[in-house]
Amino acid sequence: MDSKKIYLTKEGLQELKKEFEKLSKTKRPDVLSRVSQARSMGDLSENAEYVAARDELSFIDGRIDELEELLKQAVIIAESGSKNSNHVVKLGSKVTLTVKGKKEDFMVVGEWEADPQEKKISHESPLGKALIGKKIGEKVEVEAPAGKVLYTIVSVN
């Protein structure tokens, strides 16, 4: 992995740490014991449990390595506190937009936390890129699969 900064909210960082702990302290030891038990059953070439447990262990080890790198590169998104910056969209901002007369709320987050169902959009996404640095009242136009969409920024928190 390159040494690119990984932007996370405090909650997002907590979630990654929780996942790391669970994988390294609980799941990995469980799967390791399954591998040992399966290995003790004899012929490994025809032992489906051994192959499945070994594959799961490989997946868990890969995810643990990935999480270790993410946690090393994590930068917590500062919460908006100063008065003059409250009206400018940045990482961590909660933004209310109007699109075709309808209000929609989004939170601008780092790419690892992005979740469209939760209305968390990445600062790297087309809408996220268009919003960063903009103020209340400004309009942003984003190219979408259905064509250009015009958003108006109603509020920034």
What is the residue-wise DSSP string for 41-54? TS-GGG-HHHHHHH
pLDDT at residue 132, as a whole number? 93
- Please state the rounded mean pLDDT for residues 140-144: 91
Q: In the predicted model, is pLDDT for residue 30 greater than 70?
A: yes
Q: In the predicted model, is pLDDT for residue 115 greater than 50?
A: yes
Give pLDDT tens digits for 90-114.
Answer: 999 999 999 888 999 999 999 889 9
Q: In the predicted model, is pLDDT for residue 119 greater than 70?
A: yes
- Rounded CA separation 142/123 (Å): 13
> Which structure tokens are listed for 57?
């262990």
pLDDT at residue 6, as a whole number? 87
- Name the CATH topology of 83-156: Chitinase A; domain 3 (3.10.50)
> Which structure tokens are listed for 47?
């032992």
Q: In the predicted model, is pLDDT for residue 2 greater than 60?
A: no
pLDDT at residue 3, as a whole number? 64
Q: In the predicted model, is pLDDT for residue 1 greater than 50?
A: no
- Among residues 144, 107, 108, which one has the least CA distance to residue 129? 108
The total of other beta-carbon atoms located within 10 Å of residue 87's CB is 16
Give pLDDT tens digits for 34-70.
Answer: 999 888 877 777 788 888 999 999 999 999 999 999 9
Residue pair 108/128 in contact (Cβ under 8 Å)? The answer is yes
- Rounded CA separation 153/4 (Å): 29
The total of other beta-carbon atoms located within 10 Å of residue 28's CB is 17
Q: Give the global pTM.
A: 0.71
- Name the CATH topology of 6-76: Helix Hairpins (1.10.287)
- The structural domains of the chain, with segments of one domain joined by +, span 6-76, 83-156
pLDDT at residue 85, as a whole number? 54
> What is the distance in angstroms between the CA of the first residue and the CA of the last residue of the chain?
33
Give pLDDT tens digits for 9-29.
Answer: 888 899 999 999 999 999 999
